[in-house]
Amino acid sequence: MNSSEAIALVTGANKGLGKEIARQLAAQGVFVLLGARDRERGQQTEAELKTQGFKVQFIPLEVTDQKSVEQAASEVEKQFGRLDILVNNAGIALDWFAPAQLDVETLKKTYETNVFAVFRVTKAMLPLLKKSKAGRIVNMSSGLGSLTLHADPNGPFKDANWLLAYCSSKSALNAMTIAFATELRTTGIKINSANPGYTATDMNQNRGTKTVEQGAATPVRLALLPDDGPTGGNFSDEGVTPW
Ligand code: NAP
């Protein structure tokens, strides 16, 4: 697909990686719908990106709210009749402590946004993506979602046994990537998990070692995959991330 004809929806696009993914897609000529749950923050981002010359439009979207998601889907249907790119970016990290200190409510809350909401948004947008010539779905995952890396006693997370809610929510998200890719394999739709790397955003009090420009590169590449590109994979800018 010619990127200048493509319509994309990025969830959680008012700041951080979502905003930068939106900016980079728009820089490639994609018309980007900026999903944001807060009207003021969404409109501010729309105004900022429009001032930079990009074609973007704020769309109200609280991903944990079924009604909000349905309204967004019907708005996209009404305005464009299809969706070419969905970036499931909205996410939260709440538990910065060891598993035994985690409570069920925090676990549930994390899964509401990072897992159930991605399922909800993907299901709602799928009929529109099926109307695209080359639908692309990108699930914003994390290296922290890799069970292989966590289970490796010499791996990068051997001393990082915190964030169980966040890490396991991204593992569940990866499972969804595989399941939808299998279901959609005979269609033109490709779905992949993107691992942006440790990126300086509000999520980590800007402690990340990468810039948002660097972190957005992999999700943007996956959003613009050619027809012979992969599906059902898990990628970072270093290549394949193990499941
Ligand atoms: P961030 O700066 O905290 O941004 C998160 C975005 O998600 C915000 O726009 C936030 O909106 C939105 N959001 C959260 N809950 C929402 C909801 N229920 N409905 C709609 N929007 C919601 O975090 P980030 O670092 O850019 O993270 C973006 C994605 O990348 C996440 O999925 C994260 O897990 C993933 N990731 C990040 C890193 C990293 O190092 N930063 C590494 C790996 C993966 P509000 O402004 O309204 O809160």
Q: What is the pLDDT of residues 71-100, one digit of tens each?
A: 999 999 999 999 999 999 999 999 988 899
What whole-number distance in Å separates Cα of residue 32 and Cα of residue 80?
A: 12
Bridge partners (DSSP) of residue 137 are 86, 191
Ligand 1 centroid–CA 90 distance in Å is 4
Task: Please work out, in degrees rounded to the nearest 5, the angle formed at the alpha carbon of residue 54 by the alpha carbons of 51 and 127.
Answer: 135
Q: Return the pLDDT at 105.
A: 97
Q: Is any ligand 1 atom within 6 A of the Cβ of residue 219?
A: no
What whole-number distance in Å separates Cα of residue 220 and Cα of residue 222?
A: 5
Going by their DSSP bridges, the two strands 31-36 and 234-236 should be labelled as: unpaired
Nearest CA to ligand 1 atom 29: 89
Non-local (6+) Cβ contacts of 40 within 8 A are none
Q: Are 17 and 210 in contact (CB under 8 A)?
A: no
Tokens for 125, please give them: 């947008």
Counting as low any pLDDT under 50, the low residues of the chain are 1
Q: Return the pLDDT at 159.
A: 82
Looking at the domain 3-92+119-142+169-236, which fold is it? Rossmann fold (3.40.50)
Residues designated catalytic: 166
Q: Return the pLDDT at 1.
A: 45
Ligand 1 atom at minimum distance from 93 CA: 34
Task: Please work out, in degrees rounded to the nearest 5, the angle formed at the alpha carbon of residue 183 by the alpha carbons of 149 and 222.
Answer: 55
Nearest CA to ligand 1 atom 11: 12
Ligand 1 atom at minimum distance from 37 CA: 20
Ligand 1 centroid–CA 138 distance in Å is 14
